[in-house]
Chain A
Amino acid sequence: MGVMKRVTLIFRSKANRALDKMEDPRETLDYSYQTQLELLQKVRRGVADVATSRKRIELQINQLQQSSDKLDKQARDSLAAGREDLAREALVRKSGIQSQLNDLQTQYASLQGEEEKLTAASQRLQAKVDAFRTKKETIKATYTAAEAQTRINEAFTGISEEMGDVGLAVQRAEDKTEQMKARAGAIDELMASGALDDVVSGPRDDIQAELDRMGATHGVDAELERLKTELEQGSAPKQLEGSADSAQPVQRAAGGQSAHAAPPTDQPPAGDGQ
């Protein structure tokens, strides 16, 4: 017998065993409906769990991406400062983070797929549960217990197969979520231990320290240069003060004042008018 038929038989025998246990067929309907509602709840919880796990991975991806970007910038800065050794070190660390990132992105995609499948399964089950509820009420209202048997068996076998399928899907999603939780936990631990985190922002970030030191040295040098220039400029204006053609702002302002001082000689017409 082929795989398809064997799987089918296993599903069918599950349903039959459950049916055999019921004494009043109409009780079967209500009992089954209850378990359907419970399964629906379980699927929805499953969807929420997968989503939570996916978001946690997303957060870790963002954190690692920031680390990677920072190392990339450090590599550029190091190279610009002529420190190829530091640039190399930054790139080595970046590639380590990048491989973690690639792994997380694969997991993220897998969880996303699981979430979509489970959401679709939950919608299919919901539609079947609604159909079952309608059928259940019709059967209870219209038929005697004996007459109802065949119809109940049909409806029950149909919904039972869907429930078996959805149950398996929830189980697969749970397994995957558990695995992801374990891996996400391991990465969180790595980050907390500093193995990943310290590379960029922790106290042991020697690349940044070196860059900062170089940057600070450079800053002091630049400050010195600026002060020197200021001093030179500070003495220059004194020499230029006497020069009327000076382009220096101070001189121009002074020239402006003298220009203002001149007008009174041109103003007599206004004075005449008064």
Chain B
Amino acid sequence: MIIRILGEGQLEVDDSAADELNELDSRLEVAVERGDEAGFRAALDALLNRVRATGTPVDDALLEPSRLILPQADATMADVRRLLSDEGLIPG
């Protein structure tokens, strides 16, 4: 499956990594809901590092939508909230 890390591009990640990534993603979501900045930072770093470690960058010319999209590495909790509220996205 193709996963995009915002600001970094798309990576091809083996489907077998899905469970682990979902688990990390749940931690990220809980942290955002609780407003737990430290938990948010740790979960986002873990999630991005896992995707970077297991994934391989796709060809730049590939025109395929990603299965999953992850916030950029330096995203704050406020950035992620904005992203989820559908504000601040440039219409494409």
Chain A contact residues, CB within 8 Å of chain B = 1-8, 10-15, 18, 35, 39, 117, 120-121, 123-124, 127-128, 130-132, 135, 154-155, 157-172
Please measure, in the bound complex, the distance between the C-alpha atom of A123 and the C-alpha atom of B8, giving whole angstroms: 12
Measured between beta carbons, the chain A residues less than 8 angstroms from B4 are: 161, 165
Indicate the size class of the contact surface on chain B.
35 or more
- Judged by DSSP, the binding face of A is helix
Which residue of the partner chain A has the closest CB to B82?
Answer: A168
B72 to chain A, nearest CB (A): 8
13 contacts between A and B (CB under 8 A): A3-B71, A3-B84, A4-B68, A6-B84, A15-B65, A18-B92, A127-B61, A158-B63, A162-B92, A167-B92, A168-B88, A171-B88, A172-B7
Measured between beta carbons, the chain B residues less than 8 angstroms from A18 are: 91-92
- B66 is an interface residue with CB less than 8 A from chain A: yes
Measured between beta carbons, the chain A residues less than 8 angstroms from B65 are: 12, 15, 154, 157-158, 160-161
Please measure, in the bound complex, the distance between the C-alpha atom of A5 and the C-alpha atom of B4, giving whole angstroms: 11
Measured between beta carbons, the chain A residues less than 8 angstroms from B34 are: none
Which residue of the partner chain B has the closest CB to A1?
Answer: B29
With A3-B32, A128-B61, A168-B6 known as contacts, the answer to whether A160 contacts B68 (CB < 8 A) is no
With A2-B29, A7-B71, A165-B6 known as contacts, the answer to whether A135 contacts B90 (CB < 8 A) is no
- B54 is an interface residue with CB less than 8 A from chain A: no
Q: Mark B59-78, 1 if CB is under 8 A from A, else 0.
A: 11111111111111000000
Measured between beta carbons, the chain B residues less than 8 angstroms from A5 are: 25, 68
With A131-B63, A132-B63, A168-B90 known as contacts, the answer to whether A2 contacts B7 (CB < 8 A) is no
